[in-house]
Structure 1
Amino acid sequence: MVTAGEVHRRILEVYPEVIESGRMDKGLAFIDPEVIDHRGGTDGDHYGIDAWREKWERMRSGESGFHDVSVVVEQNVATDDLSANVYISRGTHTASGRSYEVRGLDMIRVRDGRIVEHWAVRDAVAMRHQLGLDQ
């Protein structure tokens, strides 16, 4: 049985490649087709693997796209089916060339080796400020 902590570690390992290359198959292999992604804020909840794919596509395209993305986990707490990370996320906004570095927290619920539920909070105010988008 693959634990939630192991799934969390694996998806974070492939995340930069997904954003850089657009090849999502490795990452989507860890996502359940019926996943619920609790994004919070004005985004609210999103349902299904297609919504997850769209989230990743937005992260790499157009005015909202990023590159040089990395995630460094500072702390992980995990049980068999839940895993939570405190992390530092870094990247470069493709359109402006500006970089960001913000702290975030995310948690996943795993069933049968796939993410079935995801919660995430990051310092969006700091990110917008660093990217010059808060003016």
Structure 2
Amino acid sequence: MTTTLSSTEVAVASIKAMESLDPERHRSVTHPEAVNREAANEPLDCRVPGPDGFLATAKWLHGFASDINWEVENAIAEGDLVAVQTTMRGTQSGPFTVHGPDGSVVAAMPSQGRGFVTRQTHWFRVRDGLVVEHWADRDDLGMGTQLGWFGPPA
């Protein structure tokens, strides 16, 4: 029996797929033309459309925090637009890299093995039962402060 997920369920499944490096989990919820608007500062392979780009983002995130996970707090849909409020947690296990337009690393925040907890809101556009667009509002400054990247002046 085939079940059809609601737009909200598809968006939540896309968030939870980021916890996995299983290509099928990403394919099952990501449209071949999907765009991740947050990938502009990620490695080039994260910027390709569709499941391969979303999986590349998951790999990049797992390189930064291998135990990364998202707790879904709330999700709401209106038409094809879905907003998902989350708490992201993890422990930095590798450098966090920021990439320029050509894909080169323009900043690398070294790991000090610290944990982080930060709130995020992810926005999705869903078409034909699959994510076609993603963008987010994140507290990167709060995360960076918890991880020791920023602090009071010496």
User: How would you bin the TM-score normalised by the shorter chain?
Assistant: 0.7 to 0.9
TM-score normalised by structure 1 residue count = 0.80
**3-state SS of the aligned residue for 1:52?**
helix
Task: Identify the residue that residue 105 of structure 1 maps to in structure 2.
Answer: 121
**3-state SS of the aligned residue for 1:126?**
helix
**3-state SS of the aligned residue for 1:133?**
coil
Unaligned runs of 5+ in 2: 95-111
**3-state SS of the aligned residue for 1:94?**
coil
Residue 43 of structure 1: which of 20, 36, 41 is its match?
41
Task: Identify the residue that residue 5 of structure 1 maps to in structure 2.
Answer: 8
| Residue pair 1:3, 1:79 contacting (<8 A) in 2 also | no
Give 1:47 shift. 4.5
**3-state SS of the aligned residue for 2:125?**
strand
| Residue pair 1:3, 1:80 contacting (<8 A) in 2 also | no
Unaligned runs of 5+ in 1: none
| Residue pair 2:12, 2:84 contacting (<8 A) in 1 also | no
The percent identity for this pair of structures is: 27
TM-score normalised by structure 2 residue count = 0.71
Task: Identify the residue that residue 54 of structure 2 maps to in structure 1.
Answer: 52
Kindly tell me: are residues 12 and 53 of structure 1, through their superposed partners in 2, closer, same or farther at Cα, counting changes over 3 Å? closer
Give 1:80 shift. 4.2
Kindly tell me: are residues 32 and 59 of structure 1, through their superposed partners in 2, closer, same or farther at Cα, counting changes over 3 Å? same
Give 1:77 shift. 1.4
Kindly tell me: are residues 51 and 13 of structure 1, through their superposed partners in 2, closer, same or farther at Cα, counting changes over 3 Å? closer
Are 1:114 and 2:130 an aligned pair? yes
- Considering only aligned residues, what root-mean-square deviation do their CA atoms show, in Å? 2.3
Q: How many residues align?
A: 127
The structure in which a higher percent of residues are strand is: 1
Whole-angstrom CA distance in 2 between matches of 1:51 and 1:23: 13
Give 1:32 shift. 1.0
| Residue pair 2:70, 2:87 contacting (<8 A) in 1 also | yes
Task: Identify the residue that residue 90 of structure 1 maps to in structure 2.
Answer: 89
Whole-angstrom CA distance in 1 between matches of 2:60 and 2:136: 16
**3-state SS of the aligned residue for 1:26?**
helix
